[in-house]
Amino acid sequence: MCSVSLEHAESFKILLASRNFTSAIGLLRLQFECLVRGMWVLYAASETALAKLTAELNEENQKLANKLPMLSEMIRQLEKKAPQNAIDPILEFKQYSWKPLSSYVHGGLHAIDRHSKGYPIQILEQALKASNGVNGLTAVFASILTGQPRLTKDVYESFDKFADCFHAKDEIDL
């Protein structure tokens, strides 16, 4: 899931460079969802759920996998089982970004308004910083998976080193 999240982030940047801003911002939601799914797999998913996710892709298994929890339920389960420092940034991102990103994905007001009137540079910068933030969380998560605490510490230190690449809470207005 880390790799898929990073692929979405790369595609986000390609779409930004291509001036396909609405599609790029929609991908930010997918990037975030992959991170959450990966964390859910590690901290909260049952063996049955894991079996559904790792089964051979066929029609029957696809139907079973479609019954896996949606994002809000995965987050609720993570709140009970994941370390607090892992879930806090997920909750923050969802609080500030989920509704606007859903609007982009589903052709709502944000998508219609921004696509028809244009994208202020501040919105694009905020979206890029939000994507970078999800990448940072993905890097932390991936470093934890390695079992090398020093690597995780290095990732956290990079947040300070590259702070200008990430958003502050009061900057989000997609």
Task: Please report, in tens digits, the pLDDT of each residue of the chain (174 residues total).
Answer: 999 999 999 999 999 999 999 999 999 999 999 999 999 999 999 999 999 999 999 999 999 999 999 999 999 999 999 999 899 999 999 998 999 999 999 999 999 999 999 999 999 999 999 999 999 999 999 999 999 999 999 998 998 888 888 876 555 556
Q: How many domains does the chain have?
A: 1
Distance CA 33, CA 43 (A): 15
pLDDT at 126: 93
pLDDT at 141: 93
Distance CA 167, CA 129 (A): 5
Distance CA 37, CA 34 (A): 5
Torsion of CA 146, 147, 151, 157, to 10 degrees: 110
Provide the residue range defining the domain that includes 94: 2-171
pLDDT at 42: 94
pLDDT at 164: 87
- Rounded to the nearest 10 degrees, the angle between the axes of helix 21-43 and helix 121-146 is 20
Distance CA 153, CA 103 (A): 36
DSSP 68: S
CA-wise closest residue to 39 among 89, 74, 80: 74
Q: What share of the chain is helix, strand, coil (3-state, %, to 5)?
A: 80, 0, 20
Where do we find the tokens 């944000």? 110
Kindly list the distances between the CA atom of residue 71 and the CA atoms of 18, 94, 132, in Å, as whole numbers in the listed order: 29, 10, 20
pLDDT at 105: 94
For residue 134, the surrounding DSSP H or E stretch is helix 121-146
